[in-house]
Amino acid sequence: PKVELTLDERSDWFRKQQISDLSALVMSASFANFSFPGQDEGFDRVNFAWHSSEESKEYLRKWTLERKLTTRIEELQPSEWFREKWQAWQKDLQLWHTRHMEAKDPAKRAALAAAKEGGKSDAEAKEKTGDDENQ
């Protein structure tokens, strides 16, 4: 029997595995540290079987950038700056909610309207008395 490859299989440089070599947790914790071995690590020679050295490094860089966009980082923690901004936001949000609830309360709304009316009449009275005194 002769094996025939599909177009997708022919275009693949790396065979896709059914089961991942690394768990998702290990992968998310370590993929940013992946690199090629170098001569400074004690290797006499590094062979690149699929592409040249530069193309392989570019492939790894693109792969790493793609993983940074799509992989969930389990150990990610917010910074102190974010915590401060978050607390300030929560405080403002709570204030807005209380003001909103006060504005929706019919008893407080009527009291506020009466206070505004009273304030206008007081202001009008002051203007009238002030005008009378000037004349």
Within 31-105, residue ranges assigned H as helices are 53-70, 80-104
- Is residue 43 one of the residues assigned to a domain? yes
pTM of the complete model beyond 0.75: no
Whether 2 is in a domain gets the answer no
Query: 128 and 87 in one domain?
Result: yes
pLDDT for residue 87: 98
Whether 109 is covered by a domain: the verdict is: yes
| One domain, residues 102 and 57 | no
User: What whole-number percentage of the chain has pLDDT above 70?
Assistant: 87
Same domain for 89 and 65: no
Q: Select from 23, 42, 70 the last residue of a domain.
A: 70
Residue 1 placed within a domain: no
When pLDDT is cut at 50, 70 and 90, the band that residue 5 belongs to is: confident
Domain boundary among 70, 92, 112: 70
Distances (CA, A) of 38 to 43, 46, 56, 61: 7, 7, 13, 16
**Domain carrying residue 98:** 80-134
Residues 91 and 58 both lie in one domain: no
Tens-digit pLDDT profile for residues 36-58: 888 888 888 888 888 888 999 99
Task: Give the span between the Cα atoms of 12 and 30, in whole angstroms.
Answer: 25
**Which of 70, 105, 123 is the endpoint of a domain?**
70
Q: Which residue, chain included where needed, has tokens 């693109």?
A: 62
Q: How far apart are CA 44 and CA 11, in angstroms?
A: 32
Residues 18, 43, single domain; the answer is yes
Token duo for residue 1: 């029997």
In contact, 32 and 64? CB cutoff 8 Å? yes
Whether residue 40 lies inside any domain: the answer is yes
Asked whether the beta carbons of 49 and 9 are under 8 A apart, the reply is: no
More confident residue, 85 or 119: 85
Number of domains in the chain: 2
